[in-house]
Amino acid sequence: MNAPNSAFLSVNNIEVIYNHVILVLKGVSLSVQEGSIVALLGGNGAGKTTTLRAVSNLLKGERGDVTKGSVEYKGERVEALTPADLVKRGVVQVMEGRHCFGHLTIEENLRTGAYTRTDGKAAVEETLEKVYNYFPRLKTRRNSQAAYTSGGEQQMCAIGRALMAKPKLVLLDEPSMGLAPLIVEEVFEIVKDLNTKERVSFLLAEQNTMVALRYADFGYIMENGRIVMEGAAKDLATNEDVKEFYLGLSGEGRKSFRDIKHYRRRKRWLS
Amino acid sequence: MGFFIETMLGGLMTGMLYSLVALGFVLIFKASGVFNFAQGAMVLVAALAMARFSEWSNAALGGDSLFLANVIGIIGAGIVMFAVAWTVERFVLRKLVNQEGATLLMVTLGIAYVLEGLGQTFFGSEIYSINVGMPKDPVIMFEGLIEGGVMINKEDFIAALLAAVLVGGLTVFFQKTSVGRALRAVADDHQAAQSVGIPLNKTWVIVWCVAGLVALVAGIIWGSKMGVQFSLVTVALRALPVVILGGLTSVPGAIVGGLIIGVGEKLSEVYLGPYVGGGIEIWFAYVMALIVLLFRPQGLFGEKIINRV
Amino acid sequence: MIYRENGQFKTSYLADQQIFTIAQDKWFVLGLIAFAAIGVPFLADEYLFRAVLIPFLVLALAALGVNLLVGYCGQITLGAGAFMAIGAYAAYNFMVRVDGMPLVLAMLLGGVAAAGFGILFGIPSLRVRGLYLAVATLAAQFLCDWAFLRIGWFTNNSASGSVSVAKLEAFGWVINTPVEKYLFCLIFVVVFALLAKNMTRASIGRQWMAIRDMDVAAEVIGIRPMYAKLSAFAVSSFFIGVAGALWGFVHLGSWEPAAFSVDRSFQLLFMVIIGGMGSIMGSFFGAAFIVILPIFLNQFLPFLGGLVGVTVSTAGISHAEFIIFGSLIIFFLIVEPHGLARLWSIAKQKLRLWPFPH
Amino acid sequence: MTNASNAAPAAAQGGRKFGDVILDLQNISLRFGGVKALTDISFNIREHEVRAIIGPNGAGKSSMLNVINGVYHPQEGKIMFRGQERKKMEPHMAAKQGIARTFQNIALFKGMSVLDNIMTGRNLRMKCNLFQQALWIGAARNEEIAHREKVEEIVDFLEIQHIRKTAVGALPYGLQKRVDLGRALAMEPEILLLDEPMAGMNVEEKQDMCRFILDISDQFGTTIVLIEHDMGVVMDISDRVVVLDYGKKIGDGTPDEVRNNQDVINAYLGSGH
Amino acid sequence: PAAHAQAAEQYFPILVYRTGAYAANGNPWANGYVDYLKLVNAKGGINGVKVSFEECETGYATDRGVECYERLKGKGATVFQPLSTGITFALTEKAPVDKIPLITAGYGRSESQDGSVFTWNFPLLGTYWVAADVAIQHIGKAYGGVDNLKGKKIALVYHDSPFGKEPIPLLQERAKMHGFDLQLLPVAHPGVEQKATWLQIRRDRPDHVLLWGWGVMNSTSLKEAQATGYPRDKMLGVWWAGAEPDVKDVGAGAKGYSALTLQHGAEPNSKVVKDILAMVHDKGQGTGPKDEVGSVLYMRGLISAMLGVEGVAAAQERYGKGKVMTGEQVRWGLENLNLDQDKLDGMGFAGVMRPVQTSCTDHMGASWVRVHTWDGNKWEFSSDWYQADDKVLRPMVLDAASKYAAEKNIQRRTAEQCAQ
Ligand SMILES: Nc1ncnc2c1ncn2[C@@H]1O[C@H](COP(=O)(O)OP(=O)(O)OP(=O)(O)O)[C@@H](O)[C@H]1O
Ligand SMILES: Nc1ncnc2c1ncn2[C@@H]1O[C@H](COP(=O)(O)OP(=O)(O)OP(=O)(O)O)[C@@H](O)[C@H]1O
Ligand SMILES: [Mg+2]
Ligand SMILES: [Mg+2]
């Protein structure tokens, strides 16, 4: 193993270009310590998804390329590995937008998640049970084709499918999207649970900053393809700017969405 | 009556052979979502390789053991098909992960050209023959039951049997194993399949290999029936209605589709053809498939086309 | 830096909706058309006209038609050859059966006939999609192949099934020489390309594209799938039918059903995919690629062989042609899965940014 | 977009005015094979209100919207539109009646630019026929420009001017949602159905989105049906909320009523709220 | 084999197909053609004028053929041999404009025999109507004369294309004359699927089957005949269905099958073949494999080339020996061809061919046909010489040619024009 404290995953100054012309990441560096939960925050189009794709090597399919920098996992350069190799090494991504196998049933979807595992049928069954325990809703829909399940069910399926691989590092892209509040809490509880019990590390891109910072150990904030701020989750959560822009809290606490509108609107009119 | 049965049987046997080619399409489509227009070219190359390797080995060894020559031919052709699969994955498919169906379809057309060119360059463009010792003359059966008896063509019969066994075996393999599930996953979404750790590269090599071997069997059977030459590629065009009638994603569909098309084709040509001037079987097969599609847009056994917002 | 759009501001929506929003593009294309109409007749020889330019133009027109359907409306078809045949035979029948039928009108009517059948064969598209539809359109192809071979009426009872046309004359202009034939085709192509461009930038074009990209959503915002799909079939078949008439009348002069066989259908589809689906320009790129490349290879390879001192046999050349042609298709698709037209626009984008990358 | 295009009265600040019931759903049941997506659900929607539908995942919210705009046909139940029973209809007919929607799994036309995507929303209002369009003659051109102006207004309104000509496929998720909304707006609908318009957005972006929704409601008087999982948003901007669970209705009323409904708390909100 | 036309060379373009569905048959034809031209050069050229030649691959496709024609015509071609009925149809429209004659030995439009309408077409040695006519004579002979064909049933299994359809009018005419039944059974290109066809034959049991195929269709027919038990000795093929590639891989299964010949069969022992082996192949300049020399299609190509060369030679008689001829001059030569037996024997065609003499009105020159039969290993002649019955043929040719002339607004050439 590595020296203590040396990064489990480290992304060093990477640059990503889509389609040979669209430069999206302009030198992003971050690291994830073993057994930690790291949140990647930022607005739409900041490049969170792209960063995760760069780590899991799923960029190729989007015609993107890492043109500069390096990605190291457990001290090994992984840019040349296939996504499948990475999964074998324990790095699994939950893709944004669900990407369930529509023609497969929920259960089949989950089982494909265990594709790389070699620890026997029984162990897989065990994990499957565990996933069903996490998401009882999936159990009731286990025999439906994934395409015919609801958005949230698909999201659960995608997360469950990743867990089926018994990963060491999970790249979670917007896990809370489309999930009911209770389930969102649940998902993060699961994350915490896996993190503490099985020392699974998480890198999660998330819009729901409030929850993300609550559960994360460390956070990065991205804007426009660059990391603009980083720090322990606790510090970020109390930072004034973060509070205003990402948590929607200003001095006097949370503003009603209805009121913000008028305030903003007026501001715009004035300018 | 006897004649009707003969026509039916003829159709069934031809249909079985169509199934064999259709199976190649289905396998690759299932495993990668690629509609492989190079299947015909693969049949040609496999048959050419088989015919030429056995011819050359005969010449080189000076022997005239049919068996030995055929074994060498099959091994040689098998190696060629493996090489094809590996090359296709390494230099083509790998670079086109996650692209649209039309692009992939087009690329297989490119592959078809390359294979046709290479195949003819290496193996020549004359007519060659494959002789695996199939009997050529017909036998008359059930003479006691039906007047005039029913003529059965032994060669066709054996070929159909062989095809049936192969298709049956593959059906079981793909329906019942976890590999089969992985393949369906790949066909659904390349990227997601990668993300759960299905190694696309290996999967594709394997599937194209299997498709290559299926092409080899088809090539041997068709080749020994009608000689090994360029027109073998057109066999693919006859198998297309089979594929869509059975459903692009269904191995059993390939069989049933083959039988239906085979019988339908022959009956229509024999009974309807004379009234309209003949030569109708090819379009009849397509029209039949089209009519089925109007009722079941995914073919008889295909996976339901998902259409949801 | 030759390619720059900075400083070109549009001050009205009309200006923004021009076919070419960048002046360089506009002048380039206008210049190209002018050159094609005025320059080429002086420069090209008979061989170029007859064997390269005329087939290129006609097939580009057909590919344009296919592109409207496949590229814009997303309905893959392998029956384009059949619609060319319908166009050609219908025009032929109008010519021989109606006294004094003007040539251009006959061709357009050929297109109309093709459009009619296009609608008919488009009906399955309301239920059947994607590859299933592609294969189903082969039914049209084989049915037409058969009908034109077998039903004597279509060929005016010519014994061999081969038909030919007499003199070509339009508006008092006798189209005889290769140059005249070329110009005749060029006029058709330019006019039709303009029509196609107009449709694709108007509401009908957006309806087609919406159906292509996501038909359920299209329906939800009020697009009638039936109208959109069938109109695409009709317009596309009309284009293809007219191209078919040109192919028969102007290029071949005499033809048999094999001229519009399933190979032709495939060829047209190749053109569209290689050139770029959903791109008018792409149809031309595709046609150029598919028509000219084999001819070029056929002549270039012996020359190349001559350079290194090997004589390549005819068979060798054809095989090499197959291999190189196939490899190039693969190569271009790997470089840019969306076709040559997209490659072209990326190249332009790079030029625009040059010398500063990104 | 100006007020003139829609004769709705500008709602006075604070004192929002609801009209009559515009859409009344009565005893709707919808099944897919064995799956009961909706069971005997009744509720109504009034003119000019913001009506939220909430509920756990798989409760049937999206299915409800699909029923309203004709994508799904319920096995049982009646839909009254402006007091008249609506017959079984295809989605494009619902669109013609003025029902527009956005989608949970974004359903934009990937190959088209943002402008073109929004222009498709104008389709129902464009009258020139194919020949006029092909020839690009006066009428067609004028029509195109007139509608283009409308669309530009929407683009301005949603503040997406800078991505006008980008292909939507390459846009980040949040902007795609905004374009989706723009396309629906372009239809100038009477009822706008929004399926999780704010999923995958951070607070700031949600605030923007809320602002758009409220402005639409205020300026054009559009009736809005909203599905959303962010309770903060729902409680703040909706006028009435209906709660579904396992295909059944378990609550209906003002945000406050719903918030305090025990069934709703158990099934959906949890005690945290 | 590409050699560019130079001033002092007579340039022969060669349209071939060495790949694709018909390659197996196209290859030997092309090899024979080229070898003969090489032989001509080895012997010193046409009255001293060397021959140059160039191949162009058509793949049996009409548009590729047209492209080849346009390309090679620009290089000084003076005679074309398209080797495909489809291409012939297309070029028939172009030849008069470009003033290049077309030789279609044994194929092409049957009515183009009428040289006063089809000025530029030369279906030398025979047309499909000749073949059809002789086929009926030959079948009739088996029953003791064509008049005994009454009530018999003859099935025509044909390639569904202009090539396959050409004989139908004549066969129908003959059927009317003799009262036999003609059953038409088309086979779609390329002809690998014939099960239904042969099932029908098995059901209807025609007394004879006429096979009008090309390429792989022929061997498939024979295999299906074997598979359905139809006697091969009741099958008669046209001269494009009677060569080695058609029967070789059927082997013994084709035993007893007969086919018409365009005068010649396989002629490995003829003098011209020996000359080629000695002067071309033994010098290492052979075009194809050596054991193919003298096979049926090789001979067809060889004779086709010879006819073209003789056309040039005949033109030189009039326009100047040792000169390069133009297309128009070659046309005259072809129209005034007179290959008598002595001349043929001198060129090494003894036993291979009978005399050919063309005229303004007859562009065919001869209609001699023999039948040969496959004995399991090789083709053996099995009949006497036949000739098409002019009483049947002539009116049909005139009729069809006149119709064409009317359609195209062509004036028949008058006697004076012919004499020029
Ligand atoms: N396949 C692609 N081709 C071209 N550009 C792309 C592609 N995918 C993303 N982009 C661009 O890259 C930028 C970053 O996108 P990315 O998806 O990484 O953002 P994000 O932070 O995940 O946003 P969101 O929160 O909306 O998901 C965006 O501007 C987007 O337009
Ligand atoms: N076309 C269909 N075929 C089969 N089942 C379907 C179909 N559409 C929806 N369902 C089922 O109906 C139930 C309700 O789905 P719906 O999409 O309406 O849920 P939802 O309330 O929108 O949930 P979410 O918040 O997760 O999006 C789900 O269990 C889903 O699997
Ligand atoms: Mg993202
Ligand atoms: Mg939903």
- The pLDDT tens digits for B109-153 are 899 999 999 998 999 888 888 888 777 777 887 777 777 678 788
In a mutational test of the pocket of ligand 1, which residue from D171, D176, D198 has the highest number of ligand atoms less than 8 Å from its CB? D171
User: What token pair was written down for B95?
Assistant: 């670079």
- Residue B152's φ and ψ, nearest 5 degrees, are -120, 135
- Residue E22's φ and ψ, nearest 5 degrees, are -110, 15
Q: What three-state secondary structure class fits D167?
A: strand
Q: Tell me the average pLDDT across A154-176.
A: 92
* Closest chain D residue to the Cα of B307, Cα to Cα: D71
Closest Cα to atom 10, ligand 1: which residue?
D170
pLDDT in tens, C129-150: 888 898 889 999 999 999 998 8
* Closest chain C residue to the Cα of E92, Cα to Cα: C254
pLDDT in tens, D116-144: 999 999 988 888 888 888 888 888 888 88
How far, in Å, CA of B151 to CA of B141, rounded?
Answer: 6
Q: Which of B162-176, C105-119, C220-234 has the lowest mean pLDDT?
A: B162-176
Q: What's the gap in Å between the CA of C138 and the closest CA on chain E? A: 15
* Cα A47 to ligand 1 centre (Å): 6
In a mutational test of the pocket of ligand 2, which residue from D29, D30, D35, D105 has the highest number of ligand atoms less than 8 Å from its CB? D35
pLDDT in tens, C234-247: 999 999 999 999 99
Using a CB cutoff of 5 Å, list residues around ligand 4, an ion: A 150-151; D 62, 104
Q: Tell me the average pLDDT across C180-206.
A: 93
* pLDDT of res. A2: 39
**Alpha carbon separation from B17 to A198, B172, B257 (Å, rounded):** 55, 19, 11
Chain D touches chain E, with at least 3 Cβ pairs below 8 Å, answer no
* pLDDT of res. B135: 79
The span from the first CA to the last CA of chain C, in angstroms, equals 15
Q: Which H helix or E strand runs over C83?
A: helix C80-97
Tell which atom from ligand 2 comes closest to the C-alpha of A145.
4
* Cα D59 to ligand 4 centre (Å): 8
Answer yes or no: is pLDDT of C5 > 60.
no
Cβ contacts below 8 Å, chain B against chain E, sum to 114
pLDDT band at A157 (very low <50, low <70, confident <90, very high): very high
Q: Which chains form contacts with chain A, at 3 or more CB pairs under 8 Å?
A: B, C, D
Answer yes or no: is pLDDT of E266 > 70.
yes
- Where do the domains of chain D lie? 1-98+189-273, 107-188
Say whether B225 and E223 touch across the interface (CB within 8 A): yes
Q: Which of B93, B175, B176, B196 to mutate to test the interface with A (most CBs of A within 10 A)?
A: B196
Hey, what CATH topology would domain D1-98+189-273 get? Answer: Rossmann fold (3.40.50)
Say whether E195 and B6 touch across the interface (CB within 8 A): no
Using H for helix, E for strand and C for coil, what is the string for chain B? CHHHHHHHHHHHHHHHHHHHHHHHHHHHHHHHCCCCCCHHHHHHHHHHHHHHHHHHHHHHHCCCCHHHHHHHHHHHHHHHHHHHHHHHHHHCHHHHCCCCHHHHHHHHHHHHHHHHHHHHHHHCCCCECCCCCCCCCEEEECCCCCCCCEEEEHHHHHHHHHHHHHHHHHHHHHHHCHHHHHHHHHHHCHHHHHHCCCCHHHHHHHHHHHHHHHHHHHHHHHHHHHCECHHHHHHHHHHHHHHHHHCCCCHHHHHHHHHHHHHHHHHHHHHHHHHHCCCCHHHHHHHHHHHHHHHCCCCCCCCCCCCCC
Q: Sort out which chain D residues have CB atoms less than 8 A from C16's CB and list them.
A: 148
Distance of CA D21 to the CA centre of its chain: 17
* pLDDT of res. C356: 56
* Cα D215 to ligand 1 centre (Å): 28
Closest C-alpha to B175, from B26, B61, B20, B70: B26
ipTM score: 0.89
Q: Closest-lying ligand to the alpha carbon of A44?
A: 1
Q: Sort out which chain B residues have CB atoms less than 8 A from E28's CB and list them.
A: none
C253 and chain E: CB distance < 8 Å anywhere?
yes
pLDDT in tens, E382-413: 999 999 999 999 999 999 999 889 888 888 98
* pLDDT of res. B159: 82
Q: Sort out which chain C residues have CB atoms less than 8 A from E59's CB and list them.
A: 318
CATH class of C23-353: mainly alpha
Q: What's the gap in Å between the CA of D133 and the closest CA on chain C? A: 6
How far, in Å, CA of D146 to CA of C17, rounded?
Answer: 12
DSSP D106-164: ----TTSBHHHHHHHTTGGG----HHHHHHT-HHHHHHHHHHHHHHHHHHHHHT-GGGT
Strands E121-122 and E153-159: unpaired
Q: Sort out which chain E residues have CB atoms less than 8 A from C55's CB and list them.
A: 63, 67
Q: Which of B228-237, C300-309, E26-35 has the lowest mean pLDDT?
A: C300-309
* Cα A205 to ligand 3 centre (Å): 7
pLDDT band at D11 (very low <50, low <70, confident <90, very high): very low
Q: What three-state secondary structure class fits E337?
A: coil
* pLDDT of res. B282: 86
Whether the CB-CB separation of A21 and A203 falls below 8 Å is answered with no
* pLDDT of res. D175: 86
Tell which atom from ligand 1 comes closest to the C-alpha of D201.
25
Site residues for ligand 1, CB cut-off 6 Å = A 18-19, 22, 24, 42, 44-50, 62, 96, 207; D 170-174, 200
- State percent of chain C over pLDDT 70: 92
Contacts of E203 (CB under 8 A, 6+ apart): B3, B270
DSSP one-letter code for A222: E
Say whether C198 and D133 touch across the interface (CB within 8 A): yes
Query: Sheet containing A9-18: which strands, arranged edge to edge?
Result: A22-32, A9-18, A64-73, A76-77
* B14 or A5: which leads in pLDDT: B14
Q: What's the gap in Å between the CA of B201 and the closest CA on chain A? A: 9
Q: Tell me the average pLDDT across D218-240.
A: 90
How far, in Å, CA of C333 to CA of C261, rounded?
Answer: 26
Residue A32 Ramachandran class (φ > 0 left, ψ -120 to 50 alpha, else beta): beta
Contacts of A69 (CB under 8 A, 6+ apart): A11, A12, A13, A14, A15, A27, A28, A29
C353 and chain A: CB distance < 8 Å anywhere?
yes
How far, in Å, CA of C200 to CA of E387, rounded?
Answer: 64
Q: Which of B72-86, B176-190, D35-49, E300-314 has the lowest mean pLDDT?
A: B176-190
For residue B126, the number of C-alpha atoms closer than 13 Å in the C-beta half-sphere is: 17
Global pTM reads: 0.90
- State percent of chain C over pLDDT 90: 46
* pLDDT of res. B152: 81
Say whether B197 and A165 touch across the interface (CB within 8 A): yes
pLDDT in tens, E232-260: 999 999 999 999 999 988 888 899 999 99
* B152 or B245: which leads in pLDDT: B245
Closest Cα to atom 22, ligand 2: which residue?
D62
A194 and chain B: CB distance < 8 Å anywhere?
no
Answer yes or no: is pLDDT of B217 > 50.
yes
Site residues for ligand 2, CB cut-off 6 Å = A 141, 144, 148-153, 178; B 308; D 32, 35, 37, 55, 57-63, 104
Q: Closest-lying ligand to the alpha carbon of A20?
A: 1
Answer yes or no: is pLDDT of E294 > 80.
yes
A145 and chain B: CB distance < 8 Å anywhere?
yes
Answer yes or no: is pLDDT of A1 > 70.
no
Whether the CB-CB separation of B32 and B201 falls below 8 Å is answered with no
Q: Sort out which chain C residues have CB atoms less than 8 A from B106's CB and list them.
A: 270, 273-274, 329, 333
* pLDDT of res. E398: 93
Answer yes or no: is pLDDT of C13 > 70.
no
Q: Which chains form contacts with chain E, at 3 or more CB pairs under 8 Å?
A: B, C
* pLDDT of res. A270: 30
Answer yes or no: is pLDDT of D45 > 70.
yes
* Closest chain E residue to the Cα of B151, Cα to Cα: E228
Closest Cα to atom 2, ligand 1: which residue?
D170
pLDDT band at C62 (very low <50, low <70, confident <90, very high): very high
* pLDDT of res. C241: 97
Say whether C318 and E408 touch across the interface (CB within 8 A): no
Amino acid at E199: L
Answer yes or no: is pLDDT of B35 > 80.
yes
- Average per-residue pLDDT for chain C: 87
How far, in Å, CA of E62 to CA of E82, rounded?
Answer: 10
Per this entry, what is the length of chain A? 271
Q: Closest-lying ligand to the alpha carbon of D167?
A: 1
Closest Cα to atom 28, ligand 2: which residue?
D58
* Cα A83 to ligand 3 centre (Å): 19
How far, in Å, CA of B240 to CA of A109, rounded?
Answer: 30
D105 and chain B: CB distance < 8 Å anywhere?
yes
Say whether C160 and E85 touch across the interface (CB within 8 A): yes
pLDDT band at C300 (very low <50, low <70, confident <90, very high): confident
pLDDT in tens, D15-32: 456 788 899 999 999 998
Whether the CB-CB separation of E234 and E154 falls below 8 Å is answered with no
